[in-house]
């Protein structure tokens, strides 16, 4: 097991409940047995579904599937990752732009040789 705190920036485009997203990752893998500290850099895309079809619902669940290239001192063949993620979003401001929201989720990741998991939590801003 390794720990890597990461900052993730995403942009989503909605069509009702369905959305497509892009993301960028930047972080650092912390030293652990057998692993040294190393930067984490990644880009990716995803397709997801939210339980709310408009911007006026405060609490919404979501599920998404995506693919990305994530580098953290690994072999080039390990860059390609596929993920499944599920979680909840709670919008604090609904009628103001930008509106911020709290977000928590769990992501499962595989590179077709190994599997891993990540906790995704934070504060987001929607500028739509």
Intervals of the chain under pLDDT 50: none
Dihedral of the alpha carbons of 50, 107, 68, 32, in degrees to the nearest 10: 160
**Geometric angle at alpha carbon 94, from 91 and 95, rounded to 5°:** 165
Check residue 1 and give its pLDDT: 66
Check residue 85 and give its pLDDT: 97
Percent of the chain residues past pLDDT 90, beyond the cut? 57
Check residue 18 and give its pLDDT: 97
Give residues with Cβ within 8 angstroms of 54, minimum separation 6. none
Whether the CB-CB separation of 21 and 45 falls below 8 Å is answered with: yes
pTM, full prediction: 0.86
């Amino acid at each position: 097991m390794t720990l890597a705190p990461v900052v993730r920036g995403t942009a989503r485009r909605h069509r009702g409940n369905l959305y497509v997203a892009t993301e960028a990752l930047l972080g650092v893998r912390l030293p652990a047995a057998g692993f040294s500290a190393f930067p984490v850099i990644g880009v990716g895309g995803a397709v997801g579904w939210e339980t709310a079809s408009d911007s006026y619902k405060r609490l919404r669940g979501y599920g998404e599937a995506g693919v990305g290239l994530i580098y953290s001192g690994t072999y080039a063949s390990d860059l390609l990752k596929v993920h499944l993620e599920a979680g909840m979003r709670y919008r604090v401001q609904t009628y103001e732009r930008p509106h911020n929201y709290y977000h928590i989720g769990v992501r499962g990741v595989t590179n077709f040789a190994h599997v891993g998991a990540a906790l995704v939590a934070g504060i987001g801003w929607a500028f739509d």
